[in-house]
Homo-oligomer: A and B are copies of this chain.
Amino acid sequence: MILTVTLNTALDITHRVPSLRPGSSHRVSEVTERPGGKGVNVARVLAALGHEVTVTGFAGGTTGRILRDRLTEVPGLVDALVPVSGPTRRTVAVVDARSGSTTQLNEPGPTIAHAEWSAFQAVYGDLLASASAVALCGSLPPGVPVGAYAGLVRTARTAGVPVLLDTSGAALRRGVAGRPDILKPNAEELAELTGFHEPLRAAQDARRRGAGTVVASLGPEGLLALTPEGHWRAAPPARLPGNPTGAGDSVVAGLLSALVEHRPWPDRLARATALSAATVLSPTAGDFDRPAYERLLPDVRVTGEANAA
C-alpha cells in the first residue's frame, strides 16, 4: 500500500455565496463538507486510481469523528489515524459564485500532546513495514516539533520506503534536511525555501539542501523536475480554466502512483500533470474529472532528457 501522512487533518467546508462582500451578512446557497488535509486529498485520488492507500496522522473531537465516518465511505482507503484529545480543525472555503474566486479560512488545528506525538511515531513506524511509498503532506499542528518531518523522512529512508515531502515554511526548511527522495513544492514555497525566484535555479538549490528529486508545480505552466536520472518539464496541452484547489495534491498522487508502478520519470510527470489539470477542470474542488484525465494524458508535453549513462 501507499501511506499518506496528514498531521493536520481537517473537515473541509465549502460555502457557496452569490457574491462575497466583506462586512455584510450572506445567506449560503450551497454547503458541502468532506474530509480534508493535503494527505487525505492525496489518498482520495490514489484510491480513485485503484491503489490501496492508508491514511495516518491525527483526528480528534466531533470534527474528527465526522472526518473518520466519511473516510469509511472511500473504497480502497484504510483509516489509521491516531486519536487525539483536541478537536480536528475545520477549513471554510467561501466560493463567490459571481467572480468564481475562493476565500479560504483555515483553523490552526488542535495542540498535540507529547504522548500523542510519540503514539503517532510508533504507528508510523509500524505502517512503514508494509508501505511501498509514503507522502508527508501539509502543515504541522501546534505541539508537533518544527523538525518533525526531518525525523519522519529519516525513519522512512531507514525502512527503505521512498518518501515524498509536500509542506511549506519552517516545516519545509527543516524537513528537506532529512533528505526526502522527492520534494514537491509550488513556485512560492520553492522561492521561500531557497530565496531564488527563478524555478530552475531554486530547484537546483533545493537539491543541494537535501532533496533527492525536486518536482516543482508551476501552476498552469505544469511541472519542473530535477532528478538524479535527468531533468524534465511537463505541461498540459492548453491553459485550463477552473479551480486550482487540490491540484498540487493530485500531482503528489500522480507521482507516487506511477513510482510504485515502476514507471520512468517522463511517465510519472505526464500522469501528475494530467491529473492536476483534470482536478482544475472538475466542478468540485479537489476532485478530478476522470474523462478529462484520460483525454489529457496522451497530450501532456514532456521535454528534457535523461543523464548520460
- Contacts from A to B (Cβ < 8 Å): 13, 15, 17, 20-29, 31, 62, 65-66, 90, 92, 94, 96, 99, 101-108
A106: B residues at CB distance < 8 A = 25-28
Q: List 6 A-B contacts (CB under 8 A).
A: A13-B90, A22-B22, A22-B103, A24-B104, A31-B108, A62-B66
**Do B102 and A23 touch (CB < 8 A)?**
yes
A99: B residues at CB distance < 8 A = 23
**Do A101 and B22 touch (CB < 8 A)?**
yes
User: This chain: how many copies in the complex?
Assistant: 2
Question: Given A20-B22, A22-B20, do A92 and B105 touch, yes or no (CB 8 Å)?
Answer: yes
Name A100's closest neighbour in chain B (CB-CB): B23
A96: B residues at CB distance < 8 A = 22-23
Question: Given A20-B22, A22-B20, A22-B22, do A94 and B101 touch, yes or no (CB 8 Å)?
Answer: no
**Do B23 and A101 touch (CB < 8 A)?**
yes
**Do A103 and B23 touch (CB < 8 A)?**
yes
A102: B residues at CB distance < 8 A = 23
Question: Given A20-B22, A23-B101, A96-B22, do A108 and B28 touch, yes or no (CB 8 Å)?
Answer: yes
